[in-house]
Amino acid sequence: MSDSIRIRPGTPADIPVISQAYVASWRSTYQGFAPEVFVKGLTIEAASKIFADSLKPNSYSYFLHVAETPEGRIVGFADGGKERGHPERGTGELYAIYLLPEFQRRGIGKKLFNAAAQSLAQTGISSMEVWVLAQSPYRKFYEAMGGKLREGIKKLDVAGHTLQLVSYVWADLKSI
């Protein structure tokens, strides 16, 4: 199945469809282990604004890749750029990678991940990190992709709930 999926750069014209895929995969990803307000808090309108703002010219080396079926259906995406907390360091960050549930575990996530790493490397960024909810079962994906768990956690407060995030790092994107 992953052989028939095409990974290509996302464009502003893709925003409505990407936003729908983002919200659907967000809700299925976090259902059951994150607070309901977090799970349902992302709307299509909010996602559209995020992508529209991100696709404007910026200094973050931003990229957006979509996974598309041969029929043209967008089933997932990956985006990233310079690490948002300290862009001056020049470290790359995979901001998000999401797939619709029915397209998970088919090798498409790996294709998106590799496209993300390649995009960062092409801008001269040599390392990458990703932040993941500590209790997420999807952490195993980043471990399988060679990510090394970094010491420490980041806390995210959502409507009175504190979520913990952990970071995986890849010190050398050329080795991916």
Q: Return d(Cα 105, Cα 156) in angstroms, integer.
A: 28
Whether residue 63 is predicted with pLDDT greater than 80 in this model: the reply is yes
Q: What is the pLDDT of residues 139-148, one digit of tens each?
A: 999 999 999 9
Q: Are 92 and 129 in contact (CB under 8 A)?
A: yes
pTM metric for this prediction = 0.89
Specify burial of residue 32 (Cβ count, 10 A radius: 0-12, 13-18, 19+). exposed
- Rounded to the nearest 10 degrees, how much is the dihedral formed by the CA atoms of 98, 120, 133, 100? 0
Q: Which residue has the higher pLDDT, 35 or 6?
A: 6
| Amino acid letter for position 143 | E
Q: What does the pLDDT look like over 81-121, one tens digit per residue?
A: 999 888 888 899 999 999 999 999 999 999 999 999 999 99
* pLDDT number for residue 152: 87
The two beta strands, 6-9 and 154-158, are unpaired
